[in-house]
Structure 1
């Protein structure tokens, strides 16, 4: 049910598998994965697992979608009969995707496009897109849906456990001495998104199991017993740890509408390394 002909545009960093969105009006822009000899389109001709497996050979760079790709997607959406678009993209604190989509949206004559900076990534962005799809399915008015998006963004919280300090050191986010010392002591940073949309360190623990427990604890700390919620779990090519985090989170927050799962996109993984684990929660107010 979509009488107002509304589509949703997000990007491949939202960690939404084709099977998860196959019945939803969600369109995914592929970010670019750049190797020394080839540029790939994320989720089209390369997938997160492929990138993680090649980390030992080369750590690629990432890039936002090109303008032509975005304009072609808008044309495709219009040709499919949609009249309005809500764009919810990767945090502007880490990528220029939102800004580019917003600028190109202003040029659209056949579509009414409103772009929002989610100030998050991975399944945080994905959960926002999925909730918007439910609003469309319910037949909610365009203006009502737009009014709910900022609150939906504020109510979505994700946390990640970093397995190695090597990639943070290579990216210049920590010094070499700190990296070596932290590795020796099995220090595992816990990161999240600051209000500005940038990655920020929120805690440090020792050991992998403590890292998993901490991301679950932080996500569960946002739970409000009088409100509905959605749980989020993801991993960076660490499926067994991902299953454990999901089990721990569902035990910590037994009252939830559903639990979305995904593989953490390599767009984030190239900055902080493989084997990431993530846990999150989306709080739904009464009118959501």
Structure 2
């Protein structure tokens, strides 16, 4: 009997609509609670609702789908004829969703589920998911593709900045950046997610221009020895950061061409808006940049 493989990503992996449609992915959204009203984090909510109401809300946070709902999700995929599922998630250090899915994977019958912890969030998790999906579509077995996750993580870099750490602190997502708390008066931090899946500080600077310059420099330094299969993903939350994200991306591409000799048409560019799943943790005033590159084309 032919095996039919399904692939799923969650909203914490920053999928774009075109990415989900192109690769025929299943999608799992977190629950978003804004002023006691519950929403499902899905494309229409992210694109047309969340940013219109969150700035004027009193309270917002996330809740993961309960075990029974995840089990129903798996059974629905099985009912469509799939025998295997590669289920890809954002960092288990940021949410209990990964652990819930591992539990559900052991309960579902007739569907072999492999749950993956990307150990990144948002744009970083997306780049890891993207590479995994490419490997599966090239014909690799799930176990073989998943065995490469540590290597893919090494080839992925992400960074982001927020004007305040209050949301990360309040939601318990501050990680190894705890030492920055209370020190950000007129200071702008650059944060990342380390290989263990925790938020960690990269730098703190004065002024947006210096911040953008440093973020661009960090990407160039990372790609210096990783010039193959380059992907750049730029993302923002509140509308005020849209132009900043575009400027930072354009400068990054310009300097990659100039300093690394990688032509613009050789760089895969992805742009998007931060999913509510992540914006509820970081606060909506956020923008980020991530890159993927290989030392040798794989």
Q: With structure 2 as the length reference, what TM-score do the two structures score?
A: 0.84
Q: Which moved more, 1:129-138 or 1:233-242?
A: 129-138
Q: CA deviation at 1:228?
A: 2.9
Instruction: Find the counterpart in structure 1 of residue 289 from structure 2.
Output: 279
SS of the residue 1:110 aligns to: coil
Change in CA separation of 1:24 and 1:225 when aligned onto 2, cut-off 3 Å:
closer
1:252 aligns with 2:240: no
Change in CA separation of 1:50 and 1:84 when aligned onto 2, cut-off 3 Å:
same
SS of the residue 1:267 aligns to: helix
Q: Which moved more, 1:267-276 or 1:115-124?
A: 267-276
Aligned residues: 282
SS of the residue 1:19 aligns to: helix
* Pairs within 5 Å for 1:191-210: 191-210=191-210
Q: CA deviation at 1:141?
A: 3.2
Q: CA deviation at 1:118?
A: 0.9
> Any conservation in 2 of the 1:163–1:273 contact (CA below 8 Å)?
no
Instruction: Find the counterpart in structure 2 of residue 89 from structure 1.
Output: 89
SS of the residue 1:55 aligns to: helix
Instruction: Find the counterpart in structure 2 of residue 50 from structure 1.
Output: 49
* Pairs within 5 Å for 1:128-143: 128-143=128-143
Q: Which of structure 1's runs of 4+ aligned residues deviate more than 4 A?
A: 168-175
- Which consecutive unaligned segments of at least 5 residues does structure 1 have? none
> Any conservation in 2 of the 1:6–1:83 contact (CA below 8 Å)?
yes
Q: CA deviation at 1:72?
A: 2.2
> Any conservation in 2 of the 1:192–1:202 contact (CA below 8 Å)?
yes
* Pairs within 5 Å for 1:119-268: 119-168=119-168, 179=182, 182-183=184-185, 186-223=186-223, 224-225=225-226, 227-237=228-238, 238-254=241-257, 255=262, 256-268=266-278
> Any conservation in 2 of the 1:163–1:208 contact (CA below 8 Å)?
no
> Any conservation in 2 of the 1:159–1:215 contact (CA below 8 Å)?
yes
> 2:194, 2:153 → 1: CA distance?
12
Instruction: Find the counterpart in structure 1 of residue 109 from structure 2.
Output: 109
- Whichever structure has more helix as a proportion of its residues is 2
> 1:141, 1:95 → 2: CA distance?
27
> Any conservation in 1 of the 2:227–2:295 contact (CA below 8 Å)?
no
1:210-233 CA deviation, whole Å, 9 max, x = no partner?
222222222222112553322121
SS of the residue 2:202 aligns to: strand
> 1:189, 1:209 → 2: CA distance?
12
> Any conservation in 1 of the 2:191–2:199 contact (CA below 8 Å)?
yes
SS of the residue 2:164 aligns to: coil
1:243-282 CA deviation, whole Å, 9 max, x = no partner?
1122122123332441222211222222332231111111
Q: Which moved more, 1:37-46 or 1:152-161?
A: 37-46
Change in CA separation of 1:268 and 1:152 when aligned onto 2, cut-off 3 Å:
same
> 1:200, 1:65 → 2: CA distance?
27
Q: CA deviation at 1:136?
A: 2.6
Q: CA deviation at 1:171?
A: 5.2
RMSD: 2.6
Change in CA separation of 1:137 and 1:35 when aligned onto 2, cut-off 3 Å:
same
> 1:114, 1:38 → 2: CA distance?
33
1:17 aligns with 2:19: no
- Which consecutive unaligned segments of at least 5 residues does structure 2 have? none
